[in-house]
Structure 1
C-alpha cells in the first residue's frame, strides 16, 4: 500500500501555527521535536488530543520559512487556489465551531452534488475547503 502521509506547509512561526491548527481547526499536535539546527519537526493532523487515529491519514508538517524565498510563499503555496481539503462528518458543527474560533470564511456554505462545502483561509491566507462529501451527508 502507498499513500501520501505528510504535506509540508510553510509558516512564519511554529507556535502561532500550532495554536491555529489545534485551537481554530481542531487538529491534534502529533509531534513537536527540536532539531539540532534550531528548527523543529512539527506535525499536526485532523482530530483532537487523545483521539485515536488509524495512522493512515495525512498530516501537515509545519515548516518555518528559512529564507526570503520561502517567506514569499507563506500563504500562497498554491497560487491562490484551494490547495487543502478538510473532510468532515459534521459540516454544520465544524463550520459553527470554526466561525466561533475566528476562522475567516470566503463564502457562505454551499450544497453541491458532491457534498456540503465552504472555502476558508488559514491564518496565513492559504485556501481550504471544509467538505462533507455527499456519501456521508
Structure 2
C-alpha cells in the first residue's frame, strides 16, 4: 500500500439513483460530484458539504441487492457524518425531515446523535465536544 492512499468513496446501495440524489443533495446539502450514464447503469457520486470521502450511490440490481438496502451495516451505525457545528447541522437536518433515533448526547469523542436516512441506513452525526457551562 502506498503512503499516499486515502479512502476516496464508499458504495451505498439505494433503491434508485434519483431518490438517493434527492435525499443526499436536497435534504442534506451534499454536492453531486458525478452523474455519468454508463448505459445499463450510472456512476453517481455525492460529497458532504465539507468534503471528505464520497458516497457512490449504487442502484440496487436484483433481489439480493434490494434486500441489502438499509442493511449494509447489519443494523449497526456504520456511516459517520462529522460536523464543525453540531447544533446548526442537527437543527437543519430536523427541519429537512431527517429522523433521529435519539436526543443528542455527549461522549468523550464529541456530541453525537444517531439518525437514519430514508433507506434505513444508520448514521452518527458527530460534532465537537459540547462546551460545558
Q: TM-score with structure 2 length normalisation?
A: 0.91
Deviation string 1:72-124 (CA, Å, 9 cap, x unpaired) is: 00011011000100000010000000000000100000111210000000111
Q: Which one of the candidate residues 93, 101, 112 is aligned to 1:98? A: 93
Q: Distance in 2 between matches of 1:42 and 1:133?
A: 30
- Corresponding residue number in structure 1 for 2:113: 118
1:13 CA displacement: 1.1
- Where do 1:41-80 residues align within 5 Å? 41-47=43-49, 57-80=52-75
Q: Is 1:108 paired with 2:108?
A: no
Structure 2, unaligned runs of 5 or more: none
Q: RMSD of aligned C-alpha atoms?
A: 1.4
* Count of equivalent residues: 127
Q: Structure 1 segments of 4 or more deviating over 3 A? A: none
1:36 CA displacement: 2.0
Q: Distance in 2 between matches of 1:133 and 1:67?
A: 41
Q: Is 1:82 paired with 2:85?
A: no
**Equivalent residues of 2:72, 2:121 under 8 A apart:** yes
Q: SS at 2:125's partner residue?
A: strand
1:133 CA displacement: 3.6
Q: Is 1:20 paired with 2:23?
A: yes
